[in-house]
Structure 1
Amino acid sequence: MQRENAEAVGLKALGWIASNDDLLPVFLGASGADVEALKAAADDPGLLGALLDFICMDDAWVTAFCDATGLPYDAPMRARAVLPGGETVHWT
């Protein structure tokens, strides 16, 4: 996946979480951000990666997000790998 496509998936994640009355407060509480910070950082690839990390924590969230946006179920993880902080860690 190209960086531009990964950012597009991240922006879809932002829109999906922002419109989800159940998950938005959970994400804000977990991240320490507020709605204004989300708006201000919408073009920050690091934030987009954090949103995808959050969604990928629960298979039900991945399924709901992908169903709502028409993305394949592996898109959030593939996009996350491309954005900053998503690199595979090698411990050896």
Structure 2
Amino acid sequence: MKNMMAAGTISVEGAQKIAIEALAFLAQDDELLPRFLALTGIGPNDIRAAAREPGFLAGVLQFYLAHEPTLLRFCEASGNKPADLQRALQALPGGDETWDRQV
């Protein structure tokens, strides 16, 4: 994966790209989107505003990582590996408590 860096880490930009891809996949799925909205409490008209908030993209990745069948479905469709999503989560604000200490 070209977004990978040394020692299995991923850049913030690479992590954002994966998370945005995951959000787009989610938004076009009539089964996943309502479940995501119900779990997050975000209304369908509020997604764009919520997406500007720090931690939102990490929340999208957490949604996938919390449910293996959903994770595997996205990975199969996108060509990402589950470990890519985990590394991306750790690179984003709200995805790993060490991120907040680095900023």
TM-score by structure 2 length? Answer: 0.77
CA–CA distance in 1 between the matches of 2:92 and 2:61? 10
In structure 1, the residue matched to 2:51 is 42
The 10-residue stretch of structure 1 (13-22 or 67-76) with the greater mean CA deviation from structure 2: 67-76
CA–CA distance in 2 between the matches of 1:33 and 1:43? 13
| Two-structure CA RMSD over aligned residues (Å) | 1.6
Structure showing the higher helix proportion among its residues: 2
Q: Percent identity?
A: 34
Q: Report the CA distance between 1:70 and its aligned residue.
A: 1.2
Q: Report the CA distance between 1:23 and its aligned residue.
A: 1.1
Q: Structure 1 residue 10 and structure 2 residue 19: aligned?
A: yes
Q: Which one-letter code corresponds to 2:38 in the other structure?
A: G
Q: Which one-letter code corresponds to 2:51 in the other structure?
A: A
Q: Report the CA distance between 1:46 and its aligned residue.
A: 1.2
Tell me how many residue pairs correspond in the alignment: 89
TM-score by structure 1 length? Answer: 0.86
Structure 1 gaps, min length 5: none
CA–CA distance in 2 between the matches of 1:45 and 1:74? 22
Structure 2 gaps, min length 5: 1-9, 99-103
In structure 2, the residue matched to 1:26 is 35
* Distance change >3 Å, CA 44–CA 7, structure 1 → 2: farther
CA deviation profile, 1:17-73 (whole Å, cap 9, x unmatched):
101111110110110102222123334441111010011011111111111111122
1:62-73 equivalent positions in 2, closer than 5 A? 62-73=71-82
